[in-house]
Structure 1
């Protein structure tokens, strides 16, 4: 893909369809008042976070009638895009909550998707890696305007590219996951482990694309470098630091940074067509080390509901550092990107995609509303990420003045 917002992209895969039955909704609806190999994607940048306005009162109470509207909209996306399964959570203080799952978690057994399954979260991982970096900024151990060459040798333009530009996707470095040799290596042996240094080598053999800070370009290479910075400065492996300094303080119980292909049960099976044959395959046990600091993590619906608010409100950071994080630059119409975080029409958070899985974790400050979507395919539909389809359908109902949407782009 050339311009699709592919959170962790792997090669130039054509958009296709996963064939799977559309199941009935499972889970529960709760209401206070009532009885979810592509070349580097050009990521959308959000416009500045809107100040609370009268629209903050427009978020509807999540009554059974609204729940039925959401059910219908989600089932429609599931059927049209041929998505195997999805789980959705929406909540807002005083308005109630909606927690449902639809479709199947395993095409081999027809096991239903349920709301308690572990899922690979792709580029939502970036929000954890950048939070780790910003904690080090708050501790005075690194500066956002430090050049990456201070910490990692051999980076093209390493004496000019800053940590801020890496976190904000403005480095100009080539995206390793858009390299043809990387794509062949991954798809020919999806179980193989990759080291961060191997991933960087795929990037660094290409010339830089533009001068630092010249423009926005979504690039997984940036996050690999930031992961190495966290390791060098903290003196511990990235997974250890994130678990100790981000996951645990955030109170997350089912979120982890795997060091291999481990995938705690219960989990949904994931399906992709980013394969050597181009056919749809089960990617559940593919080794996510190729995504590392850019996309390897695992979580569940409950944890991500909590993380959405923690991330958007800056609970783990100083107010000054959170303000820098949310200082967005334009990326696509109606969307902006800050430091490892986006703002799409006021919804703050991140999406994620890697072979077999998709995610969307966002928070709307003016309504204090949280939306999380997790699904078990990365196969797009009509140029759109599957998670975007759900995000748009849901927010059209709940926040018509704040519709989460990213422009459809043709697959490449």
Structure 2
């Protein structure tokens, strides 16, 4: 980094590229034709840093075969890097653009748990209430608490790990699931550990939280979120779909799920996300997530300070450098969530000590050498702008093979959406991921 400034008079130092005027031309280079399509807004970072970021992102896209990506980095003093690379549609070659809608997978968990915490503030539920008070038929429902569900410490089996479910979803991606059907799949399996004994990413937890919100509020989950979460924060382009459609304009999403290894990817844009529901069904764009992440990290204006402190009581996951709170992960100082759904990956995080926000949206979920694409881009960006706080999920966490296991790309070991500290799935056979 050529020029650096230290941000903050107290606490650890963070290095950022100094704002020295708008960046100069940064036309794409490299062999991939998709990377020649690029859109940006005026940058406040110095030209040398912008050039380094451009090169790092293009190189990552080329190596990992990423069709398109939106990247937004916002820092104190107006420093910003907001740019789109590649294509939103491989067939038409339409360029990726910041205003496009994409599915955000397990980042949905941050919204669902926020809604639960609002009900806590209203005195309508308690974090230490047993889930059995609100939902019937939950294994150990008299002992599993709402806090344990939000913290991924319930011990309930993750329905997205059920082999029959994965086969059914791959064979019919337009299939509609009800929340109760998802729970029935999960509850056929024994609990891997006693409530509170360990940490393990499970989409079952967030589906249960969604049902609690509906029962207590008397509203469908999507309606509650729109009125009580999106509107107060000013999110006009964020939605919780009740069908397969994604609003226009949107990026096409590409997946290898259900495809033989080595075969071409398929377009998963219109696949039904009902299987992810409260754990990963939502849609948003770069601008709305830029607005959402600071609200998530601070709790303002949605939660009382004491409730936000409870949310940010991060506990160990078993993965180095990764901890998890209530519907939120922390990775080397960055807090937020990642998400993955067939065709899409998202990273939405904030570095509170430096007041930096990073959002990455990718229109593919095809892992590269066992790593999620949003993690690859996040690492490439933070290695340059926050070298003391590089966002990087451990390989074991992203593979979802170690114990405890968060989703591969989205849970706080790999928080994401169905495979993230929010989303589900493997790398070769690309199963449905709902946790990162």
Which TM-score band (shorter chain)?
Answer: 0.7 to 0.9
For residue 67 of structure 1, the aligned residue among 50, 56, 66 is 50
Structure 2: segments with no counterpart, 5+ residues: 1-31, 400-425, 428-436
* 1:264 counterpart = 2:250: no
Could you say what secondary structure the match of 2:371 adopts?
A: coil
Could you say what secondary structure the match of 2:185 adopts?
A: helix
Q: Which residue is equivalent to 1:380?
A: 367
Q: Which residue is equivalent to 1:394?
A: 381
Tell whether the 8 Å contact from 1:147 to 1:163 is kept in structure 2 after alignment.
yes
Post-superposition Cα deviations, 1:1-43, rounded to whole Å, max 9, x if no partner, equal xxxxxxxxxxxxxxxxxxx8532252224344xxxxxxxxxxx
Superposed, which structure 2 residues align to 1:4-23 within 5 Å?
21-23=33-35
Structure 1: segments with no counterpart, 5+ residues: 1-19, 33-61
Q: Which residue is equivalent to 1:9?
A: none
Tell whether the 8 Å contact from 2:73 to 2:359 is kept in structure 1 after alignment.
yes
Q: Which residue is equivalent to 1:314?
A: 299
* 1:329 counterpart = 2:315: yes
Q: Which residue is equivalent to 1:192?
A: 175
Post-superposition Cα deviations, 1:168-223, rounded to whole Å, max 9, x if no partner, equal 00111110011011111111111111100111111000001100111110000000
* 1:237 counterpart = 2:231: no
Could you say what secondary structure the match of 1:230 adopts?
A: helix
Could you say what secondary structure the match of 2:138 adopts?
A: coil
Tell whether the 8 Å contact from 1:172 to 1:217 is kept in structure 2 after alignment.
yes
The number of aligned residues is 364
Rounded to whole Å, the distance in 2 between the matches of 1:388 and 1:64 is: 25
Q: Which residue is equivalent to 1:363?
A: 350
Q: Which residue is equivalent to 2:281?
A: 296
For residue 188 of structure 2, the aligned residue among 205, 208, 218 is 205
Q: Which residue is equivalent to 2:70?
A: 87
Rounded to whole Å, the distance in 2 between the matches of 1:259 and 1:277 is: 30
Rounded to whole Å, the distance in 1 between the matches of 2:187 and 2:347 is: 30
Rounded to whole Å, the distance in 2 between the matches of 1:28 and 1:283 is: 26
Tell whether the 8 Å contact from 2:131 to 2:145 is kept in structure 1 after alignment.
yes
Q: Which residue is equivalent to 1:147?
A: 130
Q: Which residue is equivalent to 2:406?
A: none
CA RMSD, 1 decimal: 1.3
Q: Which residue is equivalent to 1:251?
A: 234
Superposed, which structure 2 residues align to 1:125-204 within 5 Å?
125-204=108-187
For residue 270 of structure 2, the aligned residue among 285, 289, 304 is 285
Q: Which residue is equivalent to 2:329?
A: 342
Rounded to whole Å, the distance in 1 between the matches of 2:38 and 2:121 is: 43
Tell whether the 8 Å contact from 1:380 to 1:386 is kept in structure 2 after alignment.
yes
Tell whether the 8 Å contact from 1:29 to 1:67 is kept in structure 2 after alignment.
no
Rounded to whole Å, the distance in 2 between the matches of 1:170 and 1:276 is: 33
Rounded to whole Å, the distance in 1 between the matches of 2:43 and 2:34 is: 25
Could you say what secondary structure the match of 1:370 adopts?
A: strand
